[in-house]
Structure 1
Amino acid sequence: MEINDDQITARCNNALAIQCKSWLQKARLDIIVRPYAYTIVTEAGSDHEPYLGMVVAVVDEDTGTVLGKMNEKHLMTVDAIEPREIDIDTANYKVSDNELAFGIRVTRRNQSGVNPYSEQIMNLYILTVNDLKAIARRLLTASYGGEGDRKCVFTGVATKVFIDVIGSKSNGYSELVARTKTTPIRYVSAGEVCHKIEKNPVMQSYVLKFDGQSYRIPKPLQASLD
């Protein structure tokens, strides 16, 4: 959905602070993320559901010059599952001979004790000659959910995703491998004792290929944030 600046009412997101981190592989450059919440305003003046956006920028720390900036307006909807954390990931995502990517990870969760749910998504960006470019969006990197009684009994699943750059290439960019570790979680009550039932995790791998514009995200790793 296209959102024009004159259609939105923006406000500071109190739950998320501005983040700044030195880009260690790029001397004297800082990565800055400023999250904000907004609502789309109709012609009648009523608000639609709120969204979370963020401005991502790379700045020369000596001069303060903005070398690249991107405004991610429609990052996710804000409802019962609320954004809680933003982290800047400066792992060595060397996606081509001359380009290094960085990640922005956003974690959101609900406040339910009976049906807890959380997920973390990551966008990947590269700094081009003229601006920032997103090369991956809404990549699911962690999730947790299940159902319980707040006391002991619980059945759920936790998934973690580990991203690595591999040697093979697609359209000039290194392919990425996403390795998932999915662990069943179960607690049962026996009288006044709460027992954890151990189960083996399930491992799986996916290869992310560059299509000329961005990395194609396999369906199991696509976060649904609308």
Structure 2
Amino acid sequence: MKRFCLRGVIALGLCGVAVQAAAECRASAYSGAEVLYEVCKDWLAYPGTRITGQARLEHPQQALPPEEPGSYELQLALVSSRDGSVQASYSLPAAILSDTSTFRGLGIDTARYRLNEQVRAFGIRSFFEGTSRANPDGETWLTLYVRDGKTLRPILEKLVVESSSGEWDTRCNGHFSDSKSTVAVAKTRSQGYADLIVTTVATDSEALEQGDDCTTASSHTRTATTTLRYDGQRYSVPPGLKAWR
């Protein structure tokens, strides 16, 4: 029987505020009394550079992790892992909305997003999880950033790379849908940046209670491939792959 959980929540480490050099990263979701998710990761493609990220709850009503709607300000930076100096940064108020699905944290993706000979992107993953037991759901978004002088610029926004949903009787019987997308860099280019190939594998399944057993009564998997092209500013994401909020 399938159980729904959010994959990889706060899977990466924690460093202090983005401008700190912090010699080590510690896994933690909150800092002090603030609702604050922090992550950091050394960017091995650029030795001596560390990626840091913060998502801070705006206008918190309480000091505990929220289960109610709220918005988060996102702050990112590339910093020197030696002295903490900021190489490039990005900040966006109300970048993340926690509403019907609760925001659960950030992850840093340093896969080989090499867009041309000079430009390599990194990813920020945002994790969400529903609160309904009878109607479980979860999503993971991917946004890619490139360095543009002293700033970081988003070029691919809110691509849904993982999604789970379902409706069941909380014992066994129910219908479930899961999808997972991978992003590969193509050899072709548009406006100077490599095209991105998104391969999505989606599975629909049904679980039935038979005696003391909970079994998969049916399952159907389908695969789709989508090419995303750079228009000079960003990669356009079609509605079926982009987060709605």
Same fold (TM over 0.5): yes
Which residue number in structure 2 is paired with residue 13 of structure 1? 35
Choose between structure 1 and 2: higher strand proportion: 1
| Structure 1 segment 199-214 matched on structure 2, within 5 A | 199-214=219-234
Describe the SS at the equivalent of 2:126: strand
Give 1:224 deviation, angstroms. Answer: 1.1
* Superposition deviation, residue 39 in structure 1: 4.3
Trace 1:69-80 onto structure 2 (pairs within 5 A).
Answer: 69-80=89-100
Which secondary structure state, in structure 2, belongs to the residue aligned with residue 201 of structure 1? strand
Asked whether the 8 Å contact 2:54–2:75 carries over to 1, the reply is yes
| 1:35-66 residue CA offsets vs partner (Å, 9 max, x unmatched) | 111149xxxxxxxx621221011101112111
What pairs with 1:102-113 in structure 2 (closer than 5 Å)?
A: 102-113=122-133
**Letter matched to residue 163 of structure 2:** S
Structure 2: runs of 5 or more not aligned = 1-32, 61-68
- Report deviation, 1:197: 2.6
Q: Which amino acid aligns with 1:206?
A: T
- Distance in 2 (CA, whole Å) between partners of 1:123 and 1:196 is 34
Alignment root-mean-square deviation, CA: 1.6
Structure 1 residues without counterparts, runs of 5 or longer: 1-10, 41-48
Q: For 2:109 and 2:34, locate their aligned partners in 1 and report how far apart those are by CA, in whole Å.
A: 23
1:98 corresponds to: 118
Residue 55 of structure 1 corresponds to 75
Structure 1 counterpart SS, 2:84: coil
Q: Which residue of 99, 124, 134 corresponds with 1:114? A: 134
What SS does the corresponding residue of 1:220 show, helix, strand or coil? coil
Indicate the percent of aligned positions where both proteins have the same amino acid: 26
Match in the other structure for 2:65: none
What's the TM-score once normalised by structure 2's chain length? Answer: 0.80
**Shift of the alpha carbon at 1:219?**
1.6
Q: Within the alignment, does 1:218 sit opposite 2:209 as a pair?
A: no
Matched to 2:188, the amino acid is S
Deviation at 1:218, TM superposition (A): 1.6
1:113–1:149 contact (8 Å) kept in structure 2: no
What is the identity, as a one-letter code, of the residue corresponding to 1:63? D
CA distance in 2, matches of 1:112, 1:26: 42
